[in-house]
Amino acid sequence: MKKLTYLFYLLIMLAPLYGLAQTRTIQGQVTDAQTGEALAGVSVVANTATGREQATSTDESGAYRIQISENATTLVFAYVGKMTLTEQIGNRTSISVQLESDAGQLDEVIVTGYSTTTKATLTGAVSSISGADMVRTKNEDAVNMLTGKVPGVRISQKSSAPGDYDTRIDIRGMGDPLFVVDGIPRDKGYFSRMSGDEIESVSVLKDGTAAIYGLRAANGVVLVTTKSGSNMGGKVDISFSTSTSLQQFLNVPSTTNALQYFELKNEKNWQDFGGNYLIRRSPLHSEEEIQPYVDGTLTSYNWIDKVFKKTTPQSQHNLSVNGGSDKLRYFFNLGYSTQSGSYASDDYNSNRWNLRTNVDAQITKRLKARVSLGGMMLTTTKPNGVDWTAYKETWLARPDAPFYANDNPLYPNGDPLLLQESKNFMVQTDADYVGYNKNWDRRLNGTLQLEYEIPGVDGLSAKGSYDYATSLPDYHNYHRSYTVYQYNPDSDTYSPIQRATPASVTRGFNVNNDYNMQLGLFYNKSFGLHNFNNFLLYEETYSNWDSFSAFREVLVDSEYLFAGRDQNQRASGGGIGDRSSKSLVGQIDYNYAAKYMFAFKFRYDGSS
């Protein structure tokens, strides 16, 4: 027995030593395969057969030291711009490696404003994301697709209502940036309404990199490149995608039934009166008033469930055609998306059509052309005069207030004793009662680009582009009078209460035209290890706009201006304006062996 006890204690004492024997240290150095220089910041990960175990990184001298268990089988070395390397551990305690350059990663093309560069020769602060990564997030607003995917960019969505493209984008904590689509400045609304399936990539210019766009780029620049056709040997690729998703309210406060409402009101009344210590105060709601809800003679009314839907659908459909040859390439995309609002009336919704066509042609050996066409048509409809307060006031509606007077569906309830100011949000969210606000946003743009390789000077080319864009915002607000009722049980009659009088119609129409012309010389040439990417460009823009609006009060049930009455009419309004600018832009970009780099950019603007 003593021998067994001694053996037991001996095993306990040796257990920690046995545990220590299961780990060992691997050390080594990581260097560049081309130059032999030490690489600092290389990720070193020890993996077992079941997954990752330990990780560390190399110091300034490229050295690392990592402690592993006996289960570790491989070390993985990873570094930006280098090919990932996996080494078997075996019985080794020292593992030094050399990392080869990843040409594919270094040669990735980055759009930097009026020109392109590679990741290996990038000198400024630029973040980029592919269109394929964007569309993994399904959203009506292209800005929302960038959420959490671009370093240094903050996205905050103000509203998810149909047709509400008011998402905020901040770069470095500043205001809205400048948006440039295929080299042409656009507004944020243009990018927001683009389909993710027509976007090839998005680059975000920060700090000094954005300076080439001048004062407009004080808050950064978002560069958007749309998709182009592919050389498929004359074949055509046709693809169709569709997606449907559901939205719902989060953290909606629960409502009370009528019995709970009466009890809580009485409790509040009692507390407000000092707990009735001195004088017994009568309850606001008597036992006779409460008892019908206890025995089920009267029922409660859940206004939230009556006015709003639990979930709202949104869908996106895209048809793409891609193809071409070495002489002609084309890309076509047609998209349709819909989004429904949360009102049970189904009168809050939006639908949008998107069109994108890009055609690239090699006209001669030295002359290339590109024709681009983009279009968008958005229609948003909602009940007249309803805003976010509908949610708050519906939630505050009394649960003993019927939806209809005397529960008669022919008479919407407007009892001022039960509904504040006779507001019945079942009615106020129904366009058949209150009228509607309808907004149209139509945009169309076309761009012609030419590039000619100048003979006699290798790498020198002349480029020119001309873009015309027009937008036609239009709105129609029909403010309709409607009637709610108060029931009188003594006479069994319904007293009408007229609301939203007088009825009125407002129409507005805008025409906006934008013109952009660019002419430039570009020099892109390499001499051995010396690389140049220079350009000098002249840019001219012109914009004009014309707006008109009219308001009429109407006596008859009509949604048209011609039905307006003679009295109390406002004067029609409108306005016109234009502006223009001329700019000279240039860049001198030089690098030696993609290691030593010099970049100089300038811009001169004049405007009127």
389 within a domain of the structure (yes/no): yes
Does 268 lie in the same domain as 147? no
518 burial level (CB within 10 Å; 0-12, 13-18, 19+) = buried
How confident is the chain (608 residues) per 10-residue block, as mean pLDDT?
43 40 84 85 85 83 91 87 87 92 61 76 77 86 87 83 87 82 93 93 86 88 92 89 88 86 86 61 84 90 93 94 93 96 93 97 96 97 85 88 95 92 91 94 97 95 97 94 94 93 90 98 92 95 94 78 69 88 95 87 88
- 209 and 88 share a domain? no
Looking at residue 510, its pLDDT comes to 95
Same domain, 180 and 53: no
Range of the domain at 159: 107-226
Strands 51-57 and 85-88: unpaired
Q: What's the CA gap between 274 and 272, in Å, rounded? A: 6
Q: How far apart are CA 330 and CA 28, in angstroms?
A: 52
Domain-terminating residue out of 77, 102, 127: 102
Strand partners, 125: 206
Residue 62 lies in a domain: yes
- What is the domain-level CATH number for residue 175? 2.170.130.10
Alpha helices in 195-339 (DSSP H): 258-272, 287-294, 303-307
Q: Are residues 360 and 476 in the same domain?
A: yes
* Domain CATH for 97: 2.60.40.1120
Residue entry with tokens 């996106």: 316
Both 92 and 193 in one domain: the answer is no
Q: What is the b/e burial string over 184-220, where b = at least 16 CB atoms within 10 angstroms of the residue's CB?
A: bbbebbbbbbbbbbbbbbbbbbbeebbbbbbeebebb
Q: Is 157 exposed, middle or buried (0-12, 13-18, 19+ CB in 10 A)?
A: middle
| pLDDT of res. 173 | 63
DSSP string across 314-337: EEEEEEEEEEE-SSEEEEEEEEEE
DSSP state of 257: -
**111 shares a domain with 98:** no
* Inter-residue contact 440 to 448 (CB < 8 Å): no
Q: Are 531 and 594 in contact (CB under 8 A)?
A: yes
Q: How far apart are CA 356 and CA 447, in angstroms?
A: 12
Predicted pLDDT of residue 401: 94
Residue 252 in contact with residue 287, Cβ under 8 Å? Answer: no
Q: Can you name the residues that pair with 71 across neighbouring β-strands? A: none
How far apart, in whole angstroms, are the C-alpha atoms of residue 217 and residue 420? 49
Say if 148 falls within a structural domain: yes
| Rounded (10°) CA dihedral 256, 261, 263, 269 | 130
Greatest Cα-to-Cα distance within the chain, rounded to the nearest angstrom: 116
Domain identity same for 319 and 380: yes
Please, which residues have CB within 8 angstroms of residue 69's CB and are 6 or more apart in sequence? 22, 23, 48, 53
CA 204 to chain centre: 14
Q: Please say whether the beta carbons of 58 and 68 come within 8 A.
A: no
> Total structural domains in the chain?
4
- Which H or E run includes 13? helix 2-20
Check residue 200 and give its pLDDT.
93
130 and 268 co-located in one domain: no
Cis amide prior to 502 (ω within 30 degrees): yes
CA 159 to CA 247: how far, in whole Å? 13
**End of a domain among 60, 83, 102?**
102
Rounded CA-CA distance 410/35 in Å is: 86
Asked whether residue 480 is assigned to any structural domain, the reply reads yes
Distance, CA of 38 to CA of 36 (rounded, Å): 7
CA separation for the pair 483, 466 (Å, rounded): 56
Helix H or strand E segment including 219: none
User: Residue 23: CB partners within 8 Å, gap ≥ 6?
Assistant: 67, 68, 69, 70
Asked if residue 17 is part of any domain, the answer here is no
| SS3 at position 258 | helix
Contact (Cβ atoms closer than 8 angstroms) between residue 322 and residue 232: yes
Query: What are the angstrom distances between the C-alpha of 256 and each of 253, 272, 297, 304, 544?
Result: 10, 21, 18, 11, 56
Residue of 566, 546, 571 lying closest to 555 (CA atoms): 566
Residue 70 domain flag: yes
Same-domain check for residues 126 and 75:
no
**Shared domain check, 419 and 466:** yes
For residue 253, being part of any structural domain is answered with no
**DSSP character at residue 253:** P
**Short-list 497, 467, 481, 608, CA closest to 553:** 481
84 and 142 inside one domain: no
Which candidate, 136, 129, 130, places its Cα nearest to that of 152? 129
Residues 287 and 349 in one domain: no
Count CB neighbours of 39 within 10 A.
22
